[in-house]
Structures are given as C-alpha cells and as structure tokens.
Amino acid sequence: MTNEKKQEFTLRITQANKSQLIVLLYEIFLQYMEDAKDALADGQKDAFHRSMEKSIDCLRELTDSVQEKNELGRTVLGLYLYVSRQLGIALGSKKAEPLFEAEKVMRRLYEIYKEDAVNDTSDPVMQKSQQIYAGLTYGREDLTVSSQDGSSSRGFYA
C-alpha cells in the first residue's frame, strides 16, 4: 500500500463513525489483498507475505467486531472463518485461487456494510480530532491539506 493511500485511510479514520470504520477496515483489507495478488504475480515473496499478514490483521479486527449474540453475527463470523482458511491456504501454497475466493466473499460483505453505513448518522468515534480541509490552491495541480484545531483540549484528561 502506498503512503498516499495510508494517509487517505488515516484521514478517513479520524472522521468516521462506527459503521464507517467497519467499511474502512473492509477497504483496507481489499487493498492489501490486491497488493498480495500483485506481489504474487510479480514473484515478490516478501511483499506477498507482508500483504497477507496485513490482510489477516484486518480480518482479525473485523472478526473481533462481530456481535455473536444473534443469527446474523454468527453467520458473518462463519464467513470470516471461511475467509481466514482461504488466506491460510493461499499463504501456505503461494497460489492466487484462494485469494480470489476470499476476496469474493469480502467484497460482497463490503458492499452490504457500505450500504448500511449510509444510514448511520452517528457522530465520529474520534470526537476531538482536527478538522482537515483539502483544496486546490496556488495553481492548477497543487493540493494543499490544512488542519485547523478548533479546540485546544485534545488528548487525555488526567
């Protein structure tokens, strides 16, 4: 994953509510899956392994977020376990087929969660984060990102 993409995800995380955070985890997972497939196709074993580890970390976070109290949660958890097995097979065999299977399941779940996140109007999880403004200034192609700290009370209170 490129540094620009990491910065984009970081910015979106600071502004996201709970549902949007889940959607972002899916997007990060899918990005690392793409990176893993590209590395595998290029024969870059170390990059493949790193991307797979990051994908597994994202999947672990998603698994931890599941509420197993109801039928839907148990179903989603079962799908995550299937994806986890596929990632393990891909990691062991260094083949792309299990990655495509895992991606297919996760992409469908991503679409469902993305639709659901549109209806969530709750506040961002990070209440004291800076407001970030981006825009084109001083030329046609210069992107300036500026932050404005409207509150000096950021951080932990003792």
Mean pLDDT of 18-36: 93
Does a structural domain hold residue 62? yes
Instruction: State the Cα angle at 79 between 73 and 83, rounded to 5°.
Output: 140
Asked whether residue 158 is domain-assigned, the answer is no
Closest CA to 120 of 27, 25, 20, 28: 20
> Residue 40 domain-assigned?
yes
Query: Is residue 8 a contact partner of residue 31, using CB atoms and an 8 Å limit?
Result: no
Q: Is residue 35 assigned to a domain? A: yes
Q: Tell me what pLDDT residue 88 has.
A: 96
Please give the structure tokens belonging to residue 91.
């990691």
Classify residue 96 by its DSSP letter: S
The pLDDT of residue 124: 65
The answer, yes or no, to whether residue 142 has pLDDT greater than 70, is no
Q: Which of the residue ranges 32-36, 86-90, 132-136 would you say has the lowest mean pLDDT?
A: 132-136
Q: How far apart are CA 30 and CA 91, in angstroms?
A: 16
Q: What is the mean pLDDT of residues 137-147?
A: 55
For 123-136, how does the pLDDT look when each residue is reduced to its tens digit (9 = 90+)? 666 665 555 545 44
Phi and psi dihedrals of 145, rounded to 5?
-110, 125
Task: Enumerate helices (H) and strands (E) in the chain, giving the number of each.
Answer: 5, 2
CATH of the domain at 55: 1.20.120.340
User: Does residue 48 fall inside a structural domain?
Assistant: yes
Measured CA to CA, the distance from residue 149 to residue 136 in angstroms comes to: 20
Mean pLDDT of all residues in 31-38: 96
Helix 71-93 vs helix 97-118: crossing angle, to nearest 10: 150
Number of domains in the chain: 1
Q: Can you give the residue range of the structural domain that contains 101?
A: 3-118
pLDDT average, residue stretch 68-89: 94
Three-class SS state of 134: strand
Question: Average per-residue pLDDT in the chain?
Answer: 83
pTM for the predicted model, two decimal places: 0.76
**Between 154 and 110, where is the model more confident?**
110
Average pLDDT over residues 31-60: 96
Tell me the β-bridge partners of 136. Answer: 143
At residue 23 the predicted structure's pLDDT band, cuts being 50, 70 and 90, is: very high
Identity of the highest mean pLDDT range in 61-70, 119-128, 131-140, 147-156: 61-70
129 within some domain: no
What's the pLDDT score for residue 136? 46
